[in-house]
Amino acid sequence: MYKAKVAGVGHYVPENIVSNNDLAQLMDTDDEWIRERTGIEERRWVKEGDGNTAATMGIKAAQMAITQAGLEPNDIGHIVFATISPDYYFPGCGVQVQEALGIHTAGATDVRNACSGFIYALSVGNAFVKTGMYEHVLVVASELQSPFLDKTTRGRGVSVIFGDGAGAVVLSKASAKEGGIKSCHLHSEGKHKEELTMKGFGTQHWIGALLEKGVNPDIHFPKMNGNFVFKNAVVRFGEVIKEALDKNGITPDQIDCLIPHQANLRIAQFIQKRMGLRDDQVFNNIQKYGNTTGASIAIALSEAVQTGAVKRGDLVCLAAFGAGFTWGSVLMEY
Ligand code: ACO
């Protein structure tokens, strides 16, 4: 078996900043409520006609990651793309990356595990590199969520939380001396599939329902049982981080940087406190970008590297929880 390392990181967020006060113009909400409950101060939402889609944002993040890895697009052996907001119902966004970057005829795998999307995608890429199937795998996570949100008072419990953006990494075969990914841990519990969901369009809620009856908010907008999600998230985050640490014989004080999925600052703070981590051991950027679902950890990792919060040789733990429910963690020496 080989070992995979993160050779390059990248991210892209749309230029359009939407503050909490901007949202208060659209619905009955206010800056204080949003900050107190979620920690979010602003998020990026694409502007109609600005050309941003899940694929195009992912392509920009991917270009940055490939350049940072010192590679050319054609060095990439496989593409893994995580999103729940693809440009098309099918095909997935992976092939759009292949085409835009002109990556010979490399295979493209699409992953749709919502907030755990990047962790799942990274685990797939890691397995490809570990087995020697590919030397370089491009892992992209991108979400264009703003058009799906119910931006009226009816949808305020959900719409104030989410943002748009993309992140990417290049995974490459590590040399014997280098660190790299130590372990990946993935879980799911489908009995909670309806606690955080958007049912339409799926084959059970096809376009006919929309044409006949118009938009049904129970089906065509994301729905979340916020308190239930919160309670499950804090338990599963804690478990899956511990699983990664135990597997590698590591204690929390040895972690240089924990990057939790940017679901909600309160969840991240709860985990930090319970694990006894210092502020400088946890990286959060939800304040600026909101919850970008599958893309959040990828964007945060790229920013953490860019700002020096994560350096070569650091022990980094990534952890996610989201719809499904699905959750997972990755422990690596960056
Ligand atoms: N602005 C103002 N008031 C609001 C808003 C808003 N944006 N949204 C809801 N309210 C109101 C509700 O209508 C309700 O009013 P009522 O008491 O008159 O009925 C009141 O605020 C309380 O509503 P709750 O839903 O109980 O609010 P809560 O304190 O639970 O906070 C939140 C909601 C922030 C979503 C919380 O449940 C939470 O943190 N959940 C964790 C889940 C999460 O963060 N998910 C992120 C996405 S999923 C993921 O990434 C895993």
Residue 207 — pLDDT band, cuts 50, 70, 90?
A: confident
d(CA 68, CA 62): 10
How many angstroms separate the alpha carbon of residue 309 from the centre of ligand 1? 31
326 has a pLDDT exceeding 90: yes
Give Rg (Cα) of the chain.
Answer: 19
Distance 30 CA to ligand 1 centre (A): 12
Residue nearest ligand 1's atom 50 by CA? 263
Shared domain for 87 and 231, answered yes or no, is no
Given a cut of 90, whether residue 213 has pLDDT beyond it is no
What is the reported pLDDT for 201? 84
Are 41 and 136 part of one and the same domain? yes
Instruction: Judge if 8 and 146 occupy the same domain.
Output: yes
Looking at ligand 1, which residue's alpha carbon is closest to its atom 11?
157
- Provide the terminal-to-terminal Cα distance of the chain, rounded to the nearest Å: 19
Mean pLDDT of 11-39: 98
Q: Are residues 184 and 290 part of one domain?
A: yes
For residue 38 and ligand 1, the question of a CB distance below 6 A is answered with: yes
Averaged over 113-135, what is the pLDDT? Answer: 98
Distance from the Cα of residue 208 to its chain's centroid = 31
Inter-residue contact 282 to 260 (CB < 8 Å): yes
Same domain, 51 and 190: no
Residue where one domain finishes, among candidates 173, 189, 213? 173
**What are the tokens at 331?**
């422990």
State which of 148, 173, 198 marks the end of a domain: 173
Weakest mean pLDDT among 8-22, 127-141, 205-219: 205-219
214 and 242 together in one domain: yes
With CA atoms as reference, report the closest residue to 112 among 141, 152, 133: 141
SS3 125: helix
The secondary structure of residue 291, as a DSSP letter, is B
Residue of 229, 240, 296 with the most ligand 1 atoms within 8 Å of its CB, for mutation: 229
Percent of the chain surpassing pLDDT 90: 94
Q: Is 126 annotated as catalytic?
A: no
Q: What is the DSSP letter of 46?
A: P
Decide which of 116, 138, 173 is a domain's last residue.
173
Residue of 230, 291, 326 to mutate, ligand 1, most atoms within 8 A of C-beta: 230
- Cβ-based burial of 83 (10 A; exposed 0-12, middle 13-18, buried ≥19): buried
Lowest mean pLDDT segment, chosen from 106-115, 121-130, 211-220, 264-273 = 211-220
* Three-state DSSP class for residue 98: helix
Q: How confident is the model at residue 209 (pLDDT cuts 50, 70, 90)?
A: confident
Which atom of ligand 1 approaches the CA of 115 most closely? 50
Lowest mean pLDDT across 89-103, 206-220, 236-250: 206-220
- List the catalytic residue out of 115, 184, 257, 317: 115
Per the structure, how many domains does the chain have?
Answer: 2
Q: In what order do the strands lie in the sheet with 315-322?
A: 180-188, 326-333, 315-322, 257-260
- At residue 282, does pLDDT exceed 90? yes
What pLDDT score was predicted for residue 323? 98
Check whether residue 186 and residue 168 sit in a common domain.
Answer: no
Lowest mean pLDDT, pick from 119-133, 150-164, 166-180, 197-211: 197-211
Give yes or no: residues 80 and 167 share one domain.
yes
213-236 burial by CB neighbour count: b if 16+ within 10 A, else e?
A: eeeeeebbbbbbeeeebbebbbeb
- Which pLDDT score, from 0 to 100, does residue 145 have? 97
Q: Do 50 and 115 share a domain, yes or no?
A: yes
Task: Give the C-alpha separation, 236 to 107, whole Å.
Answer: 32
pLDDT of the residue at 182:
98
CA of 70 to the centre of ligand 1 (A): 44
Please check whether residues 319 and 203 belong to one and the same domain. yes
Residues 6 or more apart whose Cβ sits within 8 Å of residue 84: 112, 114, 117, 143, 293, 294, 323
CATH number at residue 36: 3.40.47.10
CB contact at 8 A, 247 and 330: no
My answer on whether 213 and 242 are in the same domain is yes
Q: Is 291 a catalytic residue?
A: yes
pLDDT at position 206 is: 86
Pocket mutation for ligand 1, best pick of 19, 37, 151 (most atoms within 8 Å of C-beta): 37
CA distances from 275 to 185, 256, 327 (A): 18, 13, 18
CA distance 197 to 237: 19
Amino acid 250: pLDDT: 97
- Whether 261 sits among the annotated catalytic residues: the reply is yes
pLDDT (tens digit, 9 = 90+) per residue, 40-70? 999 999 999 999 999 999 999 999 999 999 9
Q: Which of 113-117, 200-204, 222-226, 274-278 has the lowest mean pLDDT?
A: 200-204
Average pLDDT for the chain: 97
Q: Name the band, by pLDDT with cuts 50, 70 and 90, for residue 263.
A: very high
Give one DSSP letter per residue of 158-209, joined into a string: HHTTB--EEEEEEEEEPPTT--EEEEEEEEE-GGGGGGEE--SSBTTB-HHH
Residue 74 sits in the same domain as residue 147: yes
Which one of the listed residues 78, 136, 185, 261 is annotated catalytic?
A: 261
Domain enclosing residue 87, as ranges: 4-173
pLDDT at 226: 96
